[in-house]
Structure 1
Amino acid sequence: MKITRTGRISAIVATAAVAALALSSCASNEAAAPVASVSTLTGTLVGAGASSQDSAQKAWTAAFQIANPKVTINYDPTGSGAGRKTFIAGGSAFAGTDSSLSTDELAAPFAACTAGTLPFEVPAYISPIAVIFNVAGVTELNLDASTLAKIFSGAITVWNDPAIVALNPKATMPSTAITAVHRSDDSGTTKNFSDYLFQTAKADWAIDKPADPFPFATGEGAKGTSGVVDAVKNGVGTIGYADASKAGKLGVAKIKVGDKFVGYTAEAAAAVVAGSPAVAGRDATDMAIKINRTTTDPTHYPIVLVSYLIGCNSYVDATSAPLVKAYFDYILSDAGQMDAATNAGSAPLAAAVSEKALAIVNAIK
Structure 2
Amino acid sequence: MKLSRTYALAAVMAAGTIALSACSDNVAASSDSGSGSGSSKIDCGTGNLNLSGSTAQAKAIDAWQSDFAAVCPDITVNYDGTGSGQGITDFTAGKTDFAGSDSYLKPEEATAADAMCKTGKAINLPMVISPVAIVYNIKGVDKLTLDAKTLAGIFSGTITKWDDPAIVALNKDAKMPSTTIGTVHRSKDSGTTDNFTKFLDKAGAGAWTFGTGKGWKAPGGEGAPDSAGVVSAVKATDGAISYVDGSDAKGNNMTTALLDTGHGGVALDDASVGKAVAAATPAGTGNDLKVDINYGLSEAGAYPAVLVTYEIVCEKGKDADKTKAIKAFLTYTSTDGQKKLSDIGYSPLPAELASKVQKAVAAIS
Category of TM-score, reference length = shorter chain: 0.7 to 0.9
CA contact 1:51–1:77 (8 Å) conserved in 2: yes
Match of residue 137 from structure 1: 140
Determine the C-alpha separation between the residues in 2 that align with 1:86 and 1:226: 26
Shift of 1:64: 1.0
| Superposition CA RMSD, Å | 3.0
Deviates more, 1:147-156 or 1:264-273: 147-156
Distance 1:99 1:230, change over 3 A: farther
Q: Which aligned pairs between 1:334-345 and structure 2 lie closer than 5 A?
A: 335-345=336-346
Identical residues among aligned pairs (%): 38
Which of 278, 290, 293 is equivalent to 1:291? 293
Which SS does the other structure have where 1:229 is aligned? helix
Which of 17, 20, 38 is equivalent to 2:23? 38
Q: Which aligned pairs between 1:171-210 and structure 2 lie closer than 5 A?
A: 171-208=174-211, 210=212
Shift of 1:224: 4.0
Distance 1:336 1:104, change over 3 A: same
Shift of 1:273: 1.8
Instruction: Provide Cα deviations, 1:193-235, integer angstroms capped at 9, x if missing partner.
Output: 2221111115111245x33333435433334444433332234
Determine the C-alpha separation between the residues in 2 that align with 1:171 and 1:153: 24
Shift of 1:132: 0.6
Match of residue 8 from structure 1: none
Structure 2 gaps, min length 5: 1-10, 26-44
Determine the C-alpha separation between the residues in 2 that align with 1:357 and 1:229: 33
Which of 89, 92, 107 is equivalent to 1:88? 92
CA contact 2:56–2:130 (8 Å) conserved in 1: no
Deviates more, 1:141-150 or 1:52-61: 52-61
Instruction: Please tell me the residue identity of whatever aligns with 1:203.
Output: G
Determine the C-alpha separation between the residues in 1 that align with 2:100 and 2:343: 19
Distance 1:205 1:119, change over 3 A: same
Which SS does the other structure have where 1:258 is aligned? coil
Distance 1:362 1:221, change over 3 A: farther
Distance 1:298 1:186, change over 3 A: same
Distance 1:231 1:113, change over 3 A: farther
Distance 1:357 1:117, change over 3 A: same
Distance 1:356 1:348, change over 3 A: closer
CA contact 2:52–2:99 (8 Å) conserved in 1: yes
Number of aligned residues = 333
Structure 1 gaps, min length 5: 1-18
CA contact 1:112–1:315 (8 Å) conserved in 2: no
Distance 1:316 1:69, change over 3 A: closer
1:357 equivalent in alignment to 2:352: no
Which of 62, 70, 79 is equivalent to 1:75? 79
1:157 equivalent in alignment to 2:160: yes
Instruction: Provide Cα deviations, 1:49-96, integer angstroms capped at 9, x if missing partner.
Output: 333323321221111111222322122333434433443344432222
Distance 1:314 1:224, change over 3 A: farther
Give TM-score scaled by structure 2 length: 0.79
CA contact 1:56–1:344 (8 Å) conserved in 2: no
Shift of 1:116: 7.4
Shift of 1:269: 1.0
CA contact 1:113–1:316 (8 Å) conserved in 2: no
Match of residue 171 from structure 2: 168
Which SS does the other structure have where 1:323 is aligned? helix
Match of residue 322 from structure 1: 324
Match of residue 32 from structure 2: none
Determine the C-alpha separation between the residues in 1 that align with 2:230 and 2:106: 25
